[in-house]
Amino acid sequence: MLIPIILSGGAGTRLWPVSREAHPKPFMRIGGGKSLLTQTHERALEVSGNTPPLIVTNRDYYFLSKDELADQQVKPQYMLEPSGRNTAPAIALAALWAVQQKPDACMLVMPADHLIKDTPSFYTSVRHAENLAKDGFLVLFGVKPTGPETGFGYIEMGNKVSEHAQVVQRFVEKPDAVNAARMLAEGNFVWNSGMFCFKASTILEAFATYNPALLESAREVWNSTKPDGDKMELPAGFTALENISIDYAVMEKAKNLAVIPGDFDWSDIGAWKAVAEAIPADAQGNTNNDCQTIVIDSRNTHIQTTDRLVAVIGLDNLLVIDTPDALLVADKSRSQEVKEVVNRLKASGHEAHKNHRTVARPWGTYTVLQDAPGFKIKRIAVKPGASLSLQMHHHRSEHWVVVSGKAEVINGEQTVTLEANQSTYIPAGNKHRLTNVGDTELALIEVQCGSYLGEDDIVRFEDIYGRVQ
């Protein structure tokens, strides 16, 4: 039995402004297609014979992930972290879960945010890896380098352990340009893809040998974890686990390692330069995400936008990334530095590091139409049957005007039903709740007025999504 484990974490700060803290890289669509998470989930099902994957992710991404995968016939299980602790704790907890599913289960560990274009070749590599895993190997997927890349770690390969795999001689941290060129020329180095295959029992034995303290702590967390439908919410004790990667915790110490040098057109989509390289270019090297563009006398430029037409003239080797609330223009060769923009936004308290103008919630979405001192205007969209929390705000009042659909509104001691072109006023301090009691999307315009309009001015009393603190 091969159980896919999908690690869906990380903010993807180098892919701002499309990737944000509240809507990170796994939910990005490359070239206008399916999200990276959806593609990874579909690969997992294909290679495992439709075994439901386990997605390990932050609890804040649970409902977002469910919405993203709602059309998938086979639904995953979720292991929800209260905060990120790197890959070693996540894999240890996933292995403890997997051995309970089947004691001799093999795990295929994959990040949620990679792109693999040659899926048949990838599936072939997985079959070879699974055979080695059954023999007790910890198998890593290497990627044959296509250039002297300085943004990846490398694996030096030794003698063959099978027709398709070799011994891991050593791991090499992200090299400088000189060493990257040397390793490419020597020919016995591959990129470290961050994907693995091993028996759950084998990786637990490796933890017991090389990092017993982490394994013991992980067992304590696991023993306190209670399944709830399709999810397992890890308790607060998870945050005390060592923040360490699986490479440092186990792989760089283990002896039973093998690496399969894969050739399946892989990219970790780590920065905008990689996004551009993953999309077919025109004769001048320009790329876009199937958006409206006018490109004149420009070369090697990547344009990404949503609703607006973007026109460029005389550009060379640039990135133009347009979203409704932020625009990035950068030298393509400096795409790794985009994370510094995010750092500055965080330091200044700017909302754009975290949220898009349209923000997903378990019940639907809200879109900020205008935000100015003393007032904020939003479009609220609520799914059929969904309900916001019973809540109260200290510093703002709210005016709701229904545009379409049918709403049930609790406003203080009153409960009213509103339909299109009807409205209500909610004073600051009033308990209130909005429910879509119709069978179509409920849309309304909300006008907030007050001295403070931050999203943290909320007290929840009841919530069907478990968000009451």
Write out pLDDT tens, residues 124-164: 999 999 999 999 999 999 999 999 998 899 999 999 999 99
Tokens for 197, please give them.
């295959």
Q: Residues 428, 334: one domain? A: no
**Secondary structure letter of residue 61 according to DSSP:** G
Q: Residues 173, 221: one domain? A: yes
In the chain, the amino acid numbered 130 is E
pLDDT digits (tens, 9 = 90+) for 61-104: 999 999 999 999 999 999 999 999 999 999 999 999 999 999 99
DSSP state letters, 276-341: HHTS---TTS-EESS--EEEES-BS-EEE-SSS-EEEES-BSEEEEEETTEEEEEEGGGGGGHHHH
Q: Which domain holds residue 435?
A: 358-462
Angle at 268 between CA 265 and CA 271, to 5 degrees: 120
- The pLDDT of residue 129: 98
Percent of the chain with pLDDT over 70: 100
Residue at a domain's end among 267, 283, 304: 267
- Tell me, yes or no, whether 65 lies in a domain: yes
Asked whether the predicted pLDDT for residue 31 surpasses 70, the reply is: no
- Tell me, yes or no, whether 343 lies in a domain: no
Average pLDDT over residues 367-374: 96
d(CA 452, CA 91): 42
Using DSSP, state whether 85 is helix, strand or coil: coil
Q: Residues 304, 253: one domain? A: no
Asked whether the predicted pLDDT for residue 32 surpasses 90, the reply is: no
What is the pTM assigned to this prediction?
0.94
d(CA 20, CA 340): 14
- Tell me, yes or no, whether 349 lies in a domain: no
Residue 225, domain CATH = 3.90.550.10
pLDDT digits (tens, 9 = 90+) for 226-252: 999 999 999 999 999 999 999 999 999
d(CA 188, CA 219): 38
Radius of gyration of the chain (CA): 24
Count the domains in the chain. Answer: 3
Tell me the average pLDDT of the chain: 96
d(CA 415, CA 387): 14
Q: Compute how many other C-beta atoms are within 10 angstroms of the C-beta atom of residue 73.
A: 6
Distances (CA, A) of 289 to 22, 35, 257, 353, 355: 22, 13, 39, 22, 21
d(CA 398, CA 376): 10
Q: Compute how many other C-beta atoms are within 10 angstroms of the C-beta atom of residue 240.
A: 12
- Tell me, yes or no, whether 27 lies in a domain: yes
